[in-house]
């Protein structure tokens, strides 16, 4: 399915698919907890943040 979509559409889908991970990381940080490693990996970021 994805190979038929143009690049901008794929980018939008990619960004929206990362939103739940970003929300969980932000929530954990706000509560002073360590974010889940799976969420950090999905967003390709390291903790503690650089």
Q: What are the Cα distances from residue 32, in Å, to 9, 27, 29?
A: 35, 9, 5
pLDDT tens profile 7-46: 888 899 899 999 999 999 999 999 999 999 999 999 999 8
Q: In the prediction, which pLDDT does 2 show?
A: 59
pTM exceeds 0.85 for this model:
no
Q: Can you say whether residue 28 is alpha, beta or left, with left for phi > 0 and alpha for psi between -120 and 50 degrees?
A: alpha
Sign of CA pseudo-dihedral 7, 9, 13, 19: positive
Res. 1: pLDDT tops 60 = no
Better pLDDT: 48 or 3: 48
**DSSP letter, residue 5:** S
């Amino acid at each position: 399915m994805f190979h038929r979509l143009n690049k901008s559409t794929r980018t939008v889908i990619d960004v929206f698919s990362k939103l739940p991970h970003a929300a969980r990381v932000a929530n954990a940080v706000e509560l002073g907890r360590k974010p889940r490693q799976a969420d950090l990996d999905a967003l390709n970021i390291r903790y503690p943040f650089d």
